[in-house]
């Protein structure tokens, strides 16, 4: 005959405390003496009690309150993320999950830190944000954690901080992948690569360049890095000047955004002009069109739909004080003109 699983009443009896006290300890609420908390934890271990989170949330009519902080601006990828989180927010209300989606100026650690300081005072169960590689960002994360608010970094990580988890691709591996693709495109010939980033202070962009350099080694020359701040007009101008001044460039690697400007520049090239190989990140409407038309060669996409789903999953588990199910990096998709999915085209068209 199977024994029934231990209940919270069993835990309270074993610990010699009231049911209310045991409930406070299990659900992480204040107002319990250190001795009583130790007795309850010992009873939990002795009995093998497992908290029924779903039942507890249902009985308490709990509402999960999460804040998502994304960079503002014309970055097509983050506009797509905004749309996906807005869609998730509408869908998840039925599951008692509230997503508060906010924007701060891109590459502005002070603005991000100011927003985190405000969120630390709000009644939140978790925060997800795109981290800046800056001491102020680490301090802002620490302020949230001091208020027992879990923090998940998204797209760009800050591993030395007190964040609870990271959701995104391994950006060094993504850069190495591009480096291998550049080598394959050149077919054993030497070349000169023009790197374009939003800002080198963005850890994800810097890591991508680092990975590319590892694979290219001394066989390829690397032109001076262009920082386009993810602004398409600036990227268009800077890349145009670089190509005019440096005819030896054989490949362009855009590790950030602002690629609508890069696409415009490529569209303006004379039909008979030899263009460099072009590798960029994120499948958005303008990059998809450019790939279909043969103006660029490869798109590395970090699957934002998967990132949004994982952020919500991580924040919910962290709010419930449960172990995370998946902590491995998301595997990006390599898109060529030949493998673009129609379903994704329809989704991008609807979003953009």
Confidence of residue 56 (pLDDT cuts 50, 70, 90): low
Structure tokens at 213: 């350099």
According to the model, what pLDDT value does residue 321 have?
Answer: 86
Res 22: pLDDT: 87
226-227 and 165-167 as β-strands: parallel, antiparallel, unpaired?
unpaired
- pLDDT above 70 coverage of the chain, percent: 93
Which whole number is the average pLDDT over 155-160? 95
CATH dotted code for 171-301: 3.40.50.2300
pLDDT at 347: 57
What are the beta bridge partners of residue 252?
194, 278
> What are the pLDDT digits (tens) for 305-352?
999 999 999 999 999 888 898 899 999 999 999 999 885 555 555 555
pLDDT digits (tens, 9 = 90+) for 239-263: 999 999 999 999 999 999 999 999 9
To 5 degrees, how large is the angle CA 349–CA 350–CA 352? Answer: 65
> pLDDT category, 28, cuts 50, 70, 90?
confident
Residue 49 pLDDT: 85
What does the pLDDT read at residue 271? 81
| 20 band by pLDDT with thresholds 50, 70 and 90 | confident
Instruction: State pLDDT tens for residues 87-129.
Output: 999 999 888 899 999 999 999 999 999 999 999 999 999 999 9
pLDDT over 80 at 288, yes or no: yes
Backbone angle region of 63, left / alpha / beta, with phi > 0 → left and psi within -120 to 50 → alpha: beta
Backbone angles phi, psi at 276, to 5 degrees: -70, 160
Task: Give residue limits of the domains in the chain.
Answer: 8-51, 62-168+304-321, 171-301
Q: Is the dihedral of CA 312, 313, 316, 319 positive or negative?
A: negative
The predicted structure's pLDDT at residue 343:
56
Q: How confident is the model at residue 1 (pLDDT cuts 50, 70, 90)?
A: very low
Q: Which CATH architecture has domain 8-51?
A: Orthogonal Bundle (1.10)
pLDDT at 346: 57
62-168+304-321: CATH superfamily: Response regulator (3.40.50.2300)
Instruction: Let me know if the fold of 62-168+304-321 is the same as that of 171-301.
Output: yes
Q: If you search the block for the tokens 């202070």, which residue do you land on?
A: 201
Q: What is the pLDDT of residue 149?
A: 96
- pLDDT in the model for residue 140: 97
Quote the CA–CA distance of 334 and 241 in Å, as a whole number.
29
Averaged pLDDT, 210-228? 97
Give 114-123 contacts, CB < 8 A, sequence gap 24+: 115/69, 115/140, 116/69, 116/140, 116/141, 116/143, 116/144, 117/143, 119/67, 119/69, 119/144, 119/149, 120/144, 120/146, 120/147, 120/149, 121/147, 122/67, 123/65
Query: What number is the average pLDDT over the span 196-225?
Result: 97
Tokens encoding 103: 């924007």
Cβ-based neighbour number of residue 348 at 10 Å: 18
CA angle 144–40–36, rounded 5-degree value: 85
Contact call for residues 305 and 348 (beta carbons, < 8 A): no
Average pLDDT in the chain: 91
CA-closest candidate to residue 329, choices 302, 309, 351, 350: 302
Distant-in-sequence contacts of 321-326, Cβ < 8 A, 24+ apart = 321/28, 322/53, 324/165
- pLDDT at res. 348: 55
Q: What percent of the chain has pLDDT over 90?
A: 76
């Amino acid at each position: 005959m199977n024994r029934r699983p231990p209940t919270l009443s069993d835990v309270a009896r074993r610990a010699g405390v009231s049911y209310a006290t045991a409930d406070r300890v299990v659900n992480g609420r204040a107002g319990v003496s250190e001795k009583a908390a130790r007795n309850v934890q010992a009873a939990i271990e002795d009995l093998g009690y497992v908290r029924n989170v779903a039942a507890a949330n249902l009985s308490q009519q709990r509402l999960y309150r999460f804040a998502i902080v994304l960079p503002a601006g014309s970055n097509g990828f983050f506009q797509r993320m905004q749309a996906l989180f807005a869609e998730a927010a509408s869908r998840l209300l039925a599951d008692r999950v509230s997503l508060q989606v906010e924007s701060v100026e891109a590459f502005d650690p002070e603005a991000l830190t100011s927003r985190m300081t405000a969120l630390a005072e709000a009644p939140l169960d978790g925060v997800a944000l795109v981290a800046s590689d800056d001491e102020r960002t680490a301090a802002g994360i620490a302020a949230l954690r001091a208020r027992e608010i879990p923090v998940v970094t998204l797209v760009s990580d800050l591993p030395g901080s007190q964040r609870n988890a990271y959701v995104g691709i391994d950006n060094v591996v993504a850069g190495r992948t591009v480096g291998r693709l550049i080598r394959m495109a050149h077919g054993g010939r030497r070349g000169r690569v023009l790197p374009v980033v939003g800002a080198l202070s963005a850890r994800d962009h810097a890591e991508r360049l680092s990975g590319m350099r590892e694979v290219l080694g001394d066989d390829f020359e690397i032109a001076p890095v262009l920082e386009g701040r993810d602004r398409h007009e600036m990227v268009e101008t800077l890349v145009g000047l670089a190509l005019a001044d440096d005819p030896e460039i054989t490949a362009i690697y855009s590790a950030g955004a602002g690629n609508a400007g890069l696409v415009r520049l490529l569209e303006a090239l004379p039909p008979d002009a030899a263009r460099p190989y072009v590798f960029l990140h994120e499948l958005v409407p303008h990059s998809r069109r450019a790939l279909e038309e043969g103006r660029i060669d490869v798109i590395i996409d970090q699957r934002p739909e998967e990132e949004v789903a994982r952020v919500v999953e991580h924040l919910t588990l962290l709010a419930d004080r449960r172990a995370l199910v998946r902590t491995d990096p998301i595997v990006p998709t390599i898109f060529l003109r030949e493998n673009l999915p129609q379903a994704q085209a329809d989704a991008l068209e609807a979003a953009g």
